A and B are shown apart, each in its own frame.
Chain A
Amino acid sequence: MIKKQKRVLSKSERERRKNKIVAFCVMAVAAVFFGFPFLYMLGSSVKSDLDLQLHPELIFPSSFSEWTFERYTGFFMYAGKIATLPLAFLNSLWSTAANVLLTVALDLLVAYAVIFVRFKFKKVFMKFLYLWMAIPGVIATAPMFAMYATIKNALGLHEGVGAYLYIYLWLIVPGTTGIFNVLLMRNMFASIPMEIVESARSDGASNMQIFRRVVLPLARSTILLIVLFTFNGSWNSLAWPLLVLSGESKTWETLTLALTGYTGSSNWGQVGYSMASSVFALIPTLIVFLFTQSKMIDGLSSTGVKK
């Protein structure tokens, strides 16, 4: 029988192994740290009222009989009526989708123009964009709200579909002007070798054709990255919708706004419902993340083009 000999590790191997172990430990702690609230949310959403009161220290229900899913059905139907939460969910969904689409379209066009189209005052334009990035968004809140309110009053949009669309216009459009995304896209385009575009141009391609057939496919990972960023930003945004939607109908609220309804002191008994709703709120983010995460590293580190 061959005796298994224990191989002596070289110094560099030992070093590598040590690094791996340390990295693993750190990651494990971080994972628990970040994962725990989610786990607690998931567990609490299926606890019965009794368990919520008696065992807040447990992640999952204390016994099999304490499991309940009525919170999840309660998301749709509450006290025999259709709840407002699904509507808020839909509001959030469509406004976020519109936001993402607009942002990506705008970023692509601006970046293409800045890199591949010659126009006057290009440098000034770029400097303006950088400057824009230096201004914290919070500063713009008050003037923006003043504009929003003044125009709303002037147009007399106080109820009905018009008012709803007007409010959502103000929720969607300001969100599309993130300069960081434009710069991300610009840098990606700048990494495309100029010869590729020149060659296409000499083959007779118009700007639109170059954009659609040459540049766009190369920008895919960056687009996905921007989708992820914008989606999260828009889906999570609270301050601005809170301001714009205050005093409006409950059915017009976005999901984040609706979820704040559970945070008041009078609502603390609804922990289960708030947890279940949060799980629902998480689903779209998870889906988007699943679709984009594989490309995210790509989009961040790069270029995708070998020079």
Chain B
Amino acid sequence: MSTSPTSAGAPGSTGPLLEARELKTHFPVRRGILQSVVGQVHAVDGVDLSIMPGETLGLVGESGCGKSTLGRSLLRLVEPTAGSIQFEGQDLMKLRGGALKAKRRDMQLIFQDPVGSLDPRMTVRQIIGEGLQAHGIDRGRQREDRVQEVLERVGLRPEAAGRHPHEFSGGQRQRIGIARALVLRPKLVVADEPVSALDVSIQSQVLNLLVELKREFNLTYLFVAHNLAVVGYISDRIAVMYLGKVVELAQAADLYRRPLHPYTVALLSAIPVPIPGQKRQRIVLHGDVPSPINPPSGCRFRTRCPLAQEICAEQEPPLAEHESGHLAACHFAGTPFPTNHEAVATA
């Protein structure tokens, strides 16, 4: 079973840029003075995902669903526990030391927190140049030219190079973070909640910039965020995560038009729409997300799902293709909610 339209998975120009199979990232839970392992946090728990060259794949989910860990695991910034990751047909999991480092030039990360992710003691020139230095690209004058070029491209003035991060606003700091990722001319950029710490009026500046840069540098994005409206705006396809699993994957438009997984339906209906007086049905999910240390048997969403039946506790539904290019992991995918259900409120 494949998660990409072109399922061959063979190396070459038509295959995915990055392809993960059965990817798992578990973190040990330690307790007591001997720090013995008493459990595992199943942060990412068996994910198949392909990212096609030139596309923007959105990854959404609520806090703790494993979306950030997945983003980092794909770059091996967090070491996966099991599974495989192919990048341009090469197995990332087999790369060590220098070879992995060299590959990292093609894969960059943009962080959520524009304050915490920039070293306050470094100048912007040093922050952006650090990657060039690490990869031994250019020196002196040429490196400076490259830094200046990327600064200009992300909309910062040349004199910014000599300043420190604290001298900039949140939006400008995020531009520095983007410049740092782009200066290496990566193929894949994982953007982890790049606009969620920014004010609304600044958010649109950064979103527009990301869209322009993608076109200009022919980038591929994995865009990780919790805000479905933002993810939908920027993404070609969207993967929805719940408790370490991808539960639905589809073209952005299809996901909105006809969500198949009940979690996606609830998630979409929970988002307040900025149109006063708009009547719509809201699925209010009861309870909280269960702990990823001890996820429920069968379908992980069943404890909160208004459609759950016995089979959901017994068998884990596979992520299967229900419509062309539209996958969902649910025994009752596409089943409408009973309108008299207590979970359905008219908002």
A is bound by B: no
